[in-house]
Every structure is written in structure tokens, then in C-alpha cells.
Amino acid sequence: MAEDSVNKFLSVDGIPAKQLTAAALQSCLRAAAALHPQLKRAEAQYRASASKLVSLGAERTGARIPVDAKLMEATLRISHAAYAIIANPNVEMTPEFLELYVAIQAQLGQPESLPAVFEMYANKPKPVVKDGQIAYVKQNPNAAARAIEPAIADMALQTAIDAKNLDSALGVIESSYSLPAFKRQKLIKHGTAPALGLVTLPFGIFGLSSAYAAYWQNTMDISTATGIGFAGISGYFLVVGSLGMIAKLSNKDQMKRVTWTPGTPLRYRWLREEERAALDKVACAWGFKEPWRHGEEMGPEWEGLKEYMGYRQMLLDRVEFMEGMS
């Protein structure tokens, strides 16, 4: 059913309507949702039949749990069909289509293509009709509009973690949270209102100072009282606001295993907090679950993960922040 819908979609000449693209992806999503319980059942049967040691070994190494060949073939066919839709040059990449694609792969447990699709979302040219011909307009991958929405990136990361695919998990982080577009979008969304408030603050302070000089004192002339009031109120907001900002940006309560290296500027910490939280999630998923065993992990994957975080100004299992070491 999903393949029939995809074949009909790919046979359309020109730029397909957004409703048609959404319908084709929805058919793939319905097929993936129908397969999801069977995949979970096959996984549960394998875990029940295999020994505990074998299950733990597969979980630690990220080895795929063997499932029925026909079921795996159906899974791959749906995954490839969804990719054929999203990779069609005449399909414009939108957040809605990207979310549908990630949901499909999440149902199927196939995260391998997600980093490539995220890069495609940032760089894929936009198809437009010009003089009766289809033209492709180049997109700016660093524009805020090309940023991956946090909810979509979180879903993709969780899909890679559930599949125990470390390469896909790191690829998702690099192609979403780490890009300049994501930081620009965050700056626009969360920095515009405080910036406007900071710009208008002097006018509000001047109004309060003028009211104080005119109505709440009678010992100084109005201009002197206004200046003193302006200096006092400005000093209060400057000191309290600076302390509050430093406390907010240097807060570590949300950090579990991944922290910033000493000396990392506070502005970088704020802009890259989602990236750090994602790597923290990966470290918690691949490491020991017991807090008292943190730091005992070994192996090339774990050492590579620590080195990777070091390149990104982060520390995995900083000793003074570990349980019982402070």
C-alpha cells in the first residue's frame, strides 16, 4: 500500500502539491505504525529467549536484534519509500514533511538516514516554476529558517538512542543542534524579547527618576534629583541583573555527566546548551546506569566519545562533579 502510494506520487510531473506529498508520507507512516507492534514483539521474544548476558552484550555494542527476514524486508521497503519521497528534487523540504519522515523512521527503528536528511533539509534547493520550467533556488543553510526544530531533533536523537546507533546519534546532533542555523534561531526566539526590554529600560528608568524628582522629594532641585534617581535605579538593575544573568548561565543542576570545560564563555554555554544536553543524553544511554559506576566505562567507543566531547569544549564525567567526589 505504501509503495503504491509512493509510485503514484513519483509519477506526478512537475512540482507536487504539498497535500499530495503529505498524503504520501502519511501512507508510509500508517504502514510503519502497523509494523511497529510486530517489531516490538520480535524484540521482546528475542530478549526472552536469549540469555541475559547476550542481551546485555548486544545492548552495549549496539548490535541489531535479529528479526524475521520478511519483517525486516518490509521495514526497509517502507523506509526507502519514505526516503524516495523526501529526496525527490521537486519536493520542497518543510518542517511538516521532516517531522513526518522522522516519525516514520522512529516507528521503524531506522535512524541511519536521519543525519543525511537533516543535512538535506538545510541545503536542498527549493523548486520553483519559472517561465514554464522548474528551477531550483539555492538555500542558505545558515539561515534561521533552515534550523531543525528542537522537538524534531529530540525525536530523531531518541530514535538513534533506542536503536543503539552511536554514529547516527552523533550525526543527528551535528546536523541539528551544532549548526549555526540552530543557534541563530535560538537567539531570535529567546533573545529578541530581552533585547527589546534592555533597549527600553533606560526610558523607563528616566520616567521613574523624573516622577521621583517631581513628586517624592522636596530637598533638591528637579534636575539634580532626577540624575541621582537615574543613577541609583540604573545601578540597582545593573548589579541585580548581572548577578541574575551569571547565576542563570552558570547553573549546573540540569547537567548529569557532561559539563563545560573551565573557561568556556557564558554566551557559548547558553547558545550551545541543547547540544550539551543531547550529548549528555547520549552519554547516559551508552554508559552505566548506576551512578556509582560512572567513570568505569571502557572501550574504543567510550574513549572516542570522551575525545569527541573534548573537541567541543565539554568534559565527560568531570571528577569533582561525580557522586561522592565533591
**pLDDT digits over 166-206, tens only?**
999 999 999 999 999 999 999 999 989 989 999 999 999 99
From the list 241, 233, 188, 171, the residue with the least C-alpha distance to 206 is: 233
* Cβ 87 vs Cβ 24: under 8 Å: no
Tell me: pLDDT of 53 over 70.
Answer: no
Q: What is the pTM of this model?
A: 0.86
Q: HSE-up of 166 (CA within 13 Å, CB side)?
A: 19
Q: pLDDT tens for residues 226-272?
A: 999 999 999 999 999 999 988 888 888 888 899 999 888 999 999 99
Length reported for the chain: 326
C-alpha grid cell, residue 324: 561522592
Average pLDDT over every residue of 27-56: 74
Write down the pLDDT at residue 9. Answer: 73
Sequence-separated (6 or more) residues with CB below 8 Å from residue 225: 209, 212, 213, 217
How far apart, in whole angstroms, are the C-alpha atoms of residue 78 and residue 35?
10
User: At 276, is the secondary structure helix, strand, or coil?
Assistant: helix
Domain ranges within the chain, ordered by starting residue: 2-178, 191-249, 258-321
